[in-house]
């Protein structure tokens, strides 16, 4: 039913409303970006097939070296100015220069050229046949008014101009972001709601209880136990089934994890089922393989196999060489992240010659550390339906988004071959080799599958996610 206000609980606060500073994933600011700026593309959450939104098409005729983006006719920003190819060019060129979530993605574009008001031609620095998937899961999907961005961050944060289903009415920092329906939104009669109010709720129990009690209508969720409890309570749930998962990235650029034995010891010491029980009451899905069983790329090769004796032998061997394993694990302030970290700390306390400290930081600080690489070990993740481009970004030695610093010739070769391969059988064989090499090198330790979820009251409908758990607010409706 049209009209009404949805009160939405999110997992992360925004530092700025600049799309370059927003993250297009469930655990950060995806719903805010979608609300203010709309989407060029989305994807089918089951197959990964690209779906067109403000873009009419995005095609390549040379297997991924050049692409042409064609916009829908008549697109305008909320102030009535045209959202045209020049605006997309401005945003994509600018993303390379702004330290943010998608600078590395935008840097894959070597050049952009406006062909006509609706058509932008881009040339990549190297062929990426599935480059559309990078747009789907990044801030490249969000286009803001060039004139508004040029006014500077302070002015833009006060009056952001996008072409999304909602516009900003008020932003009270550390409290609420209040949005109102954009009458110029291209996909009328959407949005169905008149207003959105976004508030951060880091505590998982608080999120769930607030929705159950009617204090909120929708909650973005990351906690498997909450998803299970919400279903039991009769709430509406939408959970994306993705491969990959949440992992501990082990920084190979410095000690102790520049020694493969330290990484292997940590993997052998990790009991994923016990961590799942500690953090999620056993409701999570353990990421013991790279691909989920629903994936066409699934193989049963384990990423880690617990072995306490081997773990202790490696810890002792490192200590005898003057390299005792002592490190800090950096985590975000969510309840499940802290529970996982405490579970890892408890497991390692049973071993000699290893110690770990936990450092809880906010999402902005965590993002900065991933960029500066100033960490020993840090929680991150890679989630996907189709492995390209996410696996290349995460583990190729030439990728700016490679958090762990792994740079292995065989792994690089297989990832690059898989990136450009077109046959599914060839891709499956290459990604099987990638999984085997990751198990040997241990650049990260996968813990659990991600739970990109949205929970809602019984009178709320239209829970639709895309990409890495990016909720589309224009689809929401409330039965009054």
| 76 has pLDDT over 90 | yes
Report yes or no on 302 lying in a domain.
yes
Alpha-carbon distances, residue 162 vs 62, 69, 212, 316 (angstroms): 32, 19, 33, 57
Confidence of residue 387 (pLDDT cuts 50, 70, 90): very high
CA 40 to chain centre: 17
Give the Cα-Cα-Cα angle 80, 143, 113 (nearest 5 degrees): 100
Task: Give the pLDDT mean for 240-255.
Answer: 95
- Smallest CA-to-CA distance from 40 within 192, 167, 188, 164 is with 164
Domain that holds residue 348: 243-448
Q: How far apart are CA 264 and CA 442, in angstroms?
A: 6
CB-based contact 72:56 (threshold 8 Å): yes
Q: What is the pLDDT of residue 477?
A: 97
CB-based contact 353:316 (threshold 8 Å): yes
- pLDDT tens for 416-435 read 999 988 888 999 999 999 99
- pLDDT tens for 92-127 read 999 999 987 788 889 999 999 999 999 999 999 989
Q: How far apart are CA 41 and CA 51, in angstroms?
A: 6
Confidence of residue 45 (pLDDT cuts 50, 70, 90): confident
Q: What is the pLDDT of residue 91?
A: 98
425: left (phi over 0), alpha (psi -120 to 50) or beta: alpha
Q: Which DSSP string corresponds to 370-393?
A: HHHT--SEEEEEEEESS-TTHHHH
- How many domains are there within the chain? 1
Give the CATH number for residue 285: 3.10.105.10
Q: What is the pLDDT of residue 1?
A: 63
Report yes or no on 59 lying in a domain.
no
Report yes or no on 93 lying in a domain.
no
Q: What is the pLDDT of residue 60?
A: 95
Q: How far apart are CA 30 and CA 19, in angstroms?
A: 10
Report yes or no on 441 lying in a domain.
yes
Dmax over CA atoms of the chain, in Å, equals 69
Confidence of residue 370 (pLDDT cuts 50, 70, 90): confident
Task: Give the pLDDT mean for 136-141.
Answer: 95
CB-based contact 377:250 (threshold 8 Å): yes
Report yes or no on 57 lying in a domain.
no
| 77 has pLDDT over 80 | yes
Report yes or no on 146 lying in a domain.
no
Task: Give the pLDDT mean for 393-408.
Answer: 94
Report yes or no on 163 lying in a domain.
no
CB-based contact 314:473 (threshold 8 Å): no
CA 37 to chain centre: 18
| 364 has pLDDT over 80 | no
Report yes or no on 257 lying in a domain.
yes
């Amino acid at each position: 039913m049209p009209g009404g206000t949805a009160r939405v609980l999110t997992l992360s606060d925004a530092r700025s409303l600049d799309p370059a500073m927003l993250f297009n994933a469930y655990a950060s600011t995806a719903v805010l970006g979608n609300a203010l700026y709309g989407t060029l593309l989305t994807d089918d959450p089951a197959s990964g097939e690209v779906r067109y939104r403000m873009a009419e098409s995005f095609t390549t005729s040379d297997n991924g070296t050049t692409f042409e983006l064609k916009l829908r006719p008549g697109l305008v920003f909320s102030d009535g100015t045209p959202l045209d190819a020049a605006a997309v060019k401005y945003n994509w060129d600018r993303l390379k220069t702004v330290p943010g979530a998608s600078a590395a993605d935008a840097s894959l574009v070597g050049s952009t050229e406006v062909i006509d008001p609706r058509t932008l031609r881009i040339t990549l620095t190297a062929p990426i046949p599935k480059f559309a998937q990078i747009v789907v899961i990044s801030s490249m999907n969000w286009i803001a008014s060039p004139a508004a961005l040029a006014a500077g961050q302070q002015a833009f944060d006060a009056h952001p101009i996008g072409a999304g289903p909602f516009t900003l009415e008020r932003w009270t920092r550390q409290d609420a972001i209040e949005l109102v329906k954009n009458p110029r939104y291209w996909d009328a009669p959407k949005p169905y709601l008149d207003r959105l109010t976004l508030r951060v709720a880091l505590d998982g129990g608080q999120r769930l209880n607030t929705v159950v009690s009617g204090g909120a209508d929708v909650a973005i969720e990351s906690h498997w136990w909450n998803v299970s409890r919400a279903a039991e309570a009769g709430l509406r749930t939408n959970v994306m089934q993705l491969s990959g998962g949440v992992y501990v990235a082990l920084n190979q650029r410095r000690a102790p994890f520049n020694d493969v034995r330290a990484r292997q010891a940590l993997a052998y010491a990790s009991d994923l089922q016990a961590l799942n029980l500690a953090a999620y009451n056993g409701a999570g899905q353990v990421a013991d393989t790279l691909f989920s069983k629903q994936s066409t790329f699934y193989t049963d090769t384990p990423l880690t196999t617990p072995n306490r004796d081997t773990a202790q032998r490696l810890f002792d061997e490192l200590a005898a060489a003057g390299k005792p394993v002592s490190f800090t694990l950096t985590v975000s302030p969510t309840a499940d992240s802290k529970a996982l970290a405490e579970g890892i700390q408890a497991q390692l306390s049973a071993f000699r010659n290893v110690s770990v400290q936990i450092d809880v930081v906010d999402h902005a600080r965590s993002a900065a550390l991933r960029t500066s690489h100033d960490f020993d070990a840090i929680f991150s993740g890679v989630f996907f339906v189709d492995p390209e481009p996410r696996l290349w970004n995460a583990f190729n030695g030439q990728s700016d988004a490679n958090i762990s610093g792994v740079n292995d010739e065989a792994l690089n070769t297989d990832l690059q071959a898989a990136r450009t391969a077109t046959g599914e059988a060839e891709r499956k064989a290459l990604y099987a080799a990638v999984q085997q090499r990751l198990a040997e090198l241990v650049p990260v330790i996968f813990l659990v599958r991600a739970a990109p979820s949205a929970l809602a009251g019984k009178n709320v409908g239209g829970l639709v996610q895309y990409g890495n758990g990016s909720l589309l607010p224009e689809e929401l409706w409330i039965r009054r």
